């Protein structure tokens, strides 16, 4: 199903939601007043390539909707056959989650609802998700780094929207190309005291990269010329689709000799030869690994841009660390190549070369 088809179905589902709301008493707090399903039309303008078949990205795994409000997105995705977990905090939800509970019951939906303060506990309800929705939530989070990092341990893709700013609140200081976030005052952003960090566009991209996400598609809407973090007129929203990028080559990229690791843990099995590349220079090469029993006594060799470094021998199984000074005067990119003097082959039909279990390798 293409994103255009999804958007069309979302518009039709909105009519069902409106009819259901009209039959239900709104409760003491009323209904959520924003058009959540309209986001799909923005996504139709943003998504590219195979990602336009958005639901294919879930790979049959559940969808997590954080900050679900009345559950419009969760209920709609459930109607398309997705397993959906909806999370919100009753203390900050507009109607203390009465809305999503009433609609889920009235529409006989299979959405699973979870009450959680993600500032206190950023862990999602389940271990793995194909797609995580974080729409209009990030600027309400006190510790966005902690949340995004936690989600990267559990999600395959992240669909995010948040307010961004190109100018500071004085509307003079440019922020666009600086990786920063503005801490809103309690009288700014429509006097909403639950608004905290308003990122610059560059700041949002930086925090995503630092927390294990790689931006695939992005689009800004609203005041994209002169947005600010404080006024209604200066409101700009940035939409992002990001892919989980947790991998052991911190700040760099893995090249060859790394086995696939499901579950998105950082650690990876290596082959006899494995390599990574960094776009910046540094003084020290650091590798943290685990030596399996069968690999005790292995010797590790390393080179940077063809220059050999000191070797290291790991005589005992268990945690191991390799450090070596990077050759002086090396200009990036830095190609780091490792080689082991032996490997382990599991057998029983598994003929892979297994070497070390690398948790992290970096240039510092």
CB-based contacts of 138: which residues, under 8 Å, 6+ apart? Answer: 144, 147, 148, 160, 162, 197, 199
| DSSP conformation letters of 236-268 | EEEEEEEEE---SBTTSEE-SSB---TT--S-E
- Please report the beta strands in 173-225, taking only residues with DSSP state E, as ranges in sequence order: 181-183, 197-199, 213-222
- The first and second tokens of residue 295, run together, are 């690999």
User: Could you tell me the pLDDT band of residue 158, with boundaries at 50, 70 and 90?
Assistant: very high
**Could you give the residue ranges of the DSSP H alpha helices within the chain?**
3-23, 39-46, 72-79, 98-106, 144-151, 201-210
What's the confidence (pLDDT) of residue 145? 96
Q: How far apart are CA 224 and CA 348, in angstroms?
A: 58
What's the confidence (pLDDT) of residue 264? 53
Lowest mean pLDDT among 18-27, 256-265, 288-297: 256-265
User: Could you tell me the pLDDT band of residue 245, with boundaries at 50, 70 and 90?
Assistant: confident
Q: Give the Å distances, CA to CA, from 198 to 127, 140, 184.
A: 29, 9, 7
With a cut of 90, say whether residue 253 has pLDDT above it. no
Contact present, 159 and 130 (Cβ < 8 Å):
no
What's the confidence (pLDDT) of residue 290? 95
- The first and second tokens of residue 283, run together, are 């003084």
**Interval 105-143: pLDDT, tens:** 999 999 999 999 999 999 999 988 999 999 999 999 999
SS3 (DSSP) at 135 = strand
**Mean pLDDT to the nearest integer, 323-348:** 92
Average pLDDT, the chain: 94
What's the confidence (pLDDT) of residue 170? 95
User: Could you tell me the pLDDT band of residue 262, with boundaries at 50, 70 and 90?
Assistant: low
**Domain ranges, ordered by start, for the chain:** 3-244, 253-363
With a cut of 70, say whether residue 265 has pLDDT above it. no
What's the confidence (pLDDT) of residue 288? 95
Taking the model in full, what pTM does it have? 0.76
**Interval 48-86: pLDDT, tens:** 999 999 999 998 899 999 999 999 999 999 999 999 999
Contact present, 182 and 168 (Cβ < 8 Å):
yes
**Interval 232-242: pLDDT, tens:** 999 999 999 99
What's the confidence (pLDDT) of residue 251? 75
| DSSP conformation letters of 270-319 | B-SEEEEEESS--SEEEEEEEE-GGGTTEEEEEEETTEE---EEE-SSEE
For 253-363, CATH gives 2.60.120.260
What fold characterizes domain 3-244? Rossmann fold (3.40.50)
Lowest mean pLDDT among 20-29, 178-187, 278-287: 20-29
What's the confidence (pLDDT) of residue 350? 83
What's the confidence (pLDDT) of residue 111? 98
């Amino acid at each position: 199903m293409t994103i255009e088809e999804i958007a069309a179905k979302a518009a039709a589902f909105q009519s069902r939601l409106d009819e259901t709301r009209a039959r239900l008493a709104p409760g003491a707090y009323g209904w959520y007043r924003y058009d959540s399903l309209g986001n799909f039309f923005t996504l139709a303008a943003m998504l590219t390539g195979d990602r336009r078949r958005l639901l294919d990205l879930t790979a049959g795994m559940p969808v997590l909707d954080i900050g679900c409000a009345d559950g419009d997105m969760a209920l709609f995705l459930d109607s398309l056959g997705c397993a959906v977990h909806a999370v919100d905090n009753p203390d900050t939800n507009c109607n203390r989650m009465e809305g999503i509970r009433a609609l889920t019951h009235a529409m006989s939906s299979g959405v699973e609802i979870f009450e959680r303060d993600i500032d206190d506990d950023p862990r999602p309800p389940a271990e793995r998700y194909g797609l995580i929705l974080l729409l209009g939530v990030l600027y309400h989070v006190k510790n966005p780094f902690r949340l995004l990092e936690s989600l990267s341990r559990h999600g395959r893709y992240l669909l995010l929207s948040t307010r961004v700013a190109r100018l500071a609140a004085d509307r003079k200081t440019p922020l666009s190309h600086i990786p920063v976030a503005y801490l809103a005052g309690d009288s700014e952003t429509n006097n909403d005291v639950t608004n905290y960090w308003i990122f610059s566009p560059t700041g949002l991209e930086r925090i995503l990269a630092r927390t294990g996400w790689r931006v695939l598609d992005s689009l800004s809407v609203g005041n994209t010329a002169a947005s600010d973090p404080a006024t209604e007129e200066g409101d700009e929203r940035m939409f992002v689709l990001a892919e989980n990028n947790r991998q052991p080559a911190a700040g760099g990229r893995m090249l060859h000799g790394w086995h696939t690791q499901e579950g998105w843990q950082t650690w990876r099995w290596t082959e006899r030869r494995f390599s990574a590349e960094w776009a910046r220079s540094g003084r020290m090469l650091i590798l943290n690994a685990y030596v399996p029993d069968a690999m005790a006594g292995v010797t590790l060799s390393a080179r940077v841009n063809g220059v050999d470094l000191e070797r290291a021998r790991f005589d005992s199984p268990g945690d191991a660390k390799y450090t070596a000074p990077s050759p002086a005067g090396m200009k990036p990119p830095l190609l780091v190549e490792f080689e082991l003097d032996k490997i382990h082959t599991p057998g029983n039909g598994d003929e892979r070369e297994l070497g070390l279990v690398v948790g992290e390798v970096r240039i510092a």
